[in-house]
């Protein structure tokens, strides 16, 4: 049975599609790119934004950094609230805490936005540790985020990867778990492409919050 739980945020606890994709759309417009179909921007949900702007729109790192600044202009005011919490998530978190488990958020989103979103949905009280990336570009890989979350989660306790699990909807979450010898649960109800979680090596893959609850409380 697990004792330590690291949760991704976007696509795992909440559905952030409208907020993220519309903020990306806003940023692209500053570069003269009009993308009307928000569905095409779904791949931006999960990985670091700089990497996504470079990969999907061929930007240089300098251009991508400017795009992230424009993205945050929109996201910090409006986009972070264009978000929905998945049904059953508050109940799942409450159940885990009542069972004496220690919970952490390990997100590629900047910590300041993560905290705002958790507070908006009134679930911040369930987490012992909240770790995201830095607005200055620090902790920009999932491996680094997981490393910091583990450091804080274990505190003065002996690291216990056998009783620690990472839960997320993208390959980056699974890769972050594997890099630190953790168990992993892939959430196929999020934004992974077909076969992505299997290819990344997720130990368990769930298709709903209900089956996630079963996997975490077995």
The DSSP bridge partners found for residue 166 are 6, 184
Q: Are 184 and 177 in contact (CB under 8 A)?
A: yes
Q: What sign results for the dihedral spanned by CA atoms 74, 148, 1, 99? A: negative
Round to whole Å and give the CA distance between 112 and 7: 16
Q: How far is CA 189 from the centre of its chain?
A: 13
For residue 214, what are the CA distances in angstroms to 60, 79, 217? Answer: 44, 32, 5
Active-site annotation, residues: 8
Which residues does 38 contact at the CB level (< 8 Å), separation at least 6?
Answer: 17, 18, 21, 22, 25
Q: Are 209 and 189 in contact (CB under 8 A)?
A: yes
């Amino acid at each position: 049975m697990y004792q330590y739980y690291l949760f991704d945020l976007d696509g795992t606890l909440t559905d952030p599609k409208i907020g993220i994709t519309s903020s990306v759309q806003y940023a692209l417009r500053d570069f003269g790119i009009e993308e009307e179909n928000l569905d095409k921007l779904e791949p931006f949900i999960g990985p670091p934004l700089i990497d996504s702007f470079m990969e999907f729109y061929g930007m240089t790192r300098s251009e991508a950094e400017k795009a992230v600044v424009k993205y945050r202009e929109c996201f910090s005011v409006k986009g972070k609230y264009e978000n929905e919490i998945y049904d059953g998530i508050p109940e799942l978190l409450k159940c885990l805490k009542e069972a004496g488990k220690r919970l952490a958020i390990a997100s590629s989103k900047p910590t300041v936005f993560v905290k705002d979103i958790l507070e908006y949905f009134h679930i911040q009280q369930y987490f012992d540790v909240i770790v995201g990336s830095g607005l200055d570009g620090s902790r920009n890989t999932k491996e680094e985020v997981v490393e910091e979350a583990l450091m804080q989660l274990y505190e003065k306790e002996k690291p216990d990867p056998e009783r620690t699990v990472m839960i997320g909807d993208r390959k980056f979450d699974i890769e972050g778990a594997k890099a630190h010898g953790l168990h992993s649960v892939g959430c196929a109800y999020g934004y992974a492409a077909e076969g992505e979680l299997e290819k990344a090596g997720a130990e368990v893959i769930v298709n709903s919050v209900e089956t996630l609850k079963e996997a975490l409380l077995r």
